[in-house]
Amino acid sequence: MAGVFSYESSEVDWCEDNYKHSENIVEFFNTMSSFVFFVISPIMLYLLHPYAKERNLAVHLVWIMMIFVGIFSLYFHMTLSFMGQMLDELSILWVLAIGYSLWFPRRHFPSFIKDRKSFSRLVFIITVVTTISSFVKPTANAYALNLFAIHILYSLCMELKSCTDQKVLRLAHASVGLWVLAISCWISDRFTCSFWQRINFCYLHAIWHILIVVATAYGSTLVAYLDASLEIPYSLPDLQYWPRDNWGMGIPYIVLKGTTKTRKRC
Ligand SMILES: CCCCCCCC/C=C\CCCCCCCC(=O)N[C@@H](CO)[C@H](O)/C=C/CCCCCCCCCCCCC
Ligand SMILES: [Ca+2]
Ligand SMILES: [Zn+2]
């Protein structure tokens, strides 16, 4: 049992050289870049609060859980232990499960599901079964997780097919662009490590951490905005960027322009 906590007990080892900068931290830059989760998550919790209050406070679970992903990612790269790997991957699985429960569009629910509560129950059961199955072949987990990104992209394309709102399309393009950059770093770190070692640049997994957190901030705001337009249209949701909307870049979030009065009149 103690073996699963021991250093380098995971079968996964990223391209960055081990113990290069510290004798207690296996992959120094991969560990340090995990701090980005602790920077972006509280900002997103703050920015999404008005939307969460109107829609469902459970929305906050996504970014609370992302803090745990950060803790487990830090622990994994610090130790490369089997326990670190499983915690890192399973926490991502649960973030995805929460995201699907909250935001998957009603009209794509399977026909035997009548409401979001039953859909969430189904997602919960599937996630518990997947959590248990993840111990069967742990090296395949990360690849399986990446397949969810493909499904999210597919669902987004379906949702945005007839969208003409430039603000929404801009956010969609930025989200997909960030994800493409992120996944390119992840794949390249995995499969072309010898090239990066030759040029002495083994930081692609650290860059992935930063890009995937920002892509998640963009992508989750986009799906939350589409959800708000369908589920709480009276609140007149709009998209803005933090810290300044007129900079044309920053962290996207949802503002609700409708008041409670607007709601009562409708
Ligand atoms: C309709 C449903 C909408 C759901 C939206 C919810 C989106 C949030 C989902 C996941 C958060 C991703 C967190 C990534 C943490 C990375 C930690 C890490 O680096 N782990 C690696 C080991 O250190 C591990 O090998 C990585 C495994 C792959 C993880 C793949 C996660 C899928 C990411 C989905 C991102 C969606 C972006 C949206 C783009 C339009
Ligand atoms: Ca390594
Ligand atoms: Zn990582």
With H, G, I as helix, E, B as strand and everything else as coil, classify residue 237.
strand
Q: Is 96 in the pocket of ligand 1 (CB under 6 A)?
A: yes
Distance (Å, whole) CA 27 – CA 74:
10
Q: Is 13 known to sit in a ligand binding site?
A: yes
Cα-flanking dihedrals φ and ψ of residue 253, to 5°?
-150, 170
Q: Do the beta carbons of residue 220 and residue 17 sit within 8 Å?
A: no
Comparing C-alpha atoms, which of 227, 211, 224, 170 is closest to residue 44? Answer: 224
What pLDDT does residue 260 have?
Answer: 61
Q: For residue range 152-204, list pLDDT tens digits in order.
A: 999 999 999 989 999 999 999 999 999 999 999 999 999 999 999 999 999 99
* Cα separation values, 162 from 156, 159, 210, 222, 266, Å: 11, 7, 31, 15, 26
Q: For residue range 118-128, list pLDDT tens digits in order.
A: 999 999 999 99
Q: Do the beta carbons of residue 119 and residue 108 sit within 8 Å?
A: no
Comparing C-alpha atoms, which of 133, 152, 126, 135 is closest to residue 219? Answer: 152
What pLDDT does residue 219 have?
Answer: 97
Q: For residue range 146-160, list pLDDT tens digits in order.
A: 999 999 999 999 999
Which CATH entry fits the domain spanning 2-265: 1.10.600, 2.40.50, 3.30.70, 1.20.1070?
Answer: 1.20.1070
User: Which numbered atom of ligand 1 lies nearest the CA of 88?
Assistant: 20
Q: Is 92 in the pocket of ligand 1 (CB under 6 A)?
A: yes
Q: Is 95 in the pocket of ligand 1 (CB under 6 A)?
A: yes
Q: Which residues neighbour 79 within 8 Å (Cβ) at sequence distance 6 or greater?
A: 5, 6, 7, 8, 26
Q: For residue range 37-49, list pLDDT tens digits in order.
A: 999 999 999 999 9
Computed over every residue of the chain, the mean pLDDT equals 95
What pLDDT does residue 263 have?
Answer: 53
Q: Whose CA is nearest to atom 34 of ligand 1?
A: 149
**pTM of structure:** 0.94
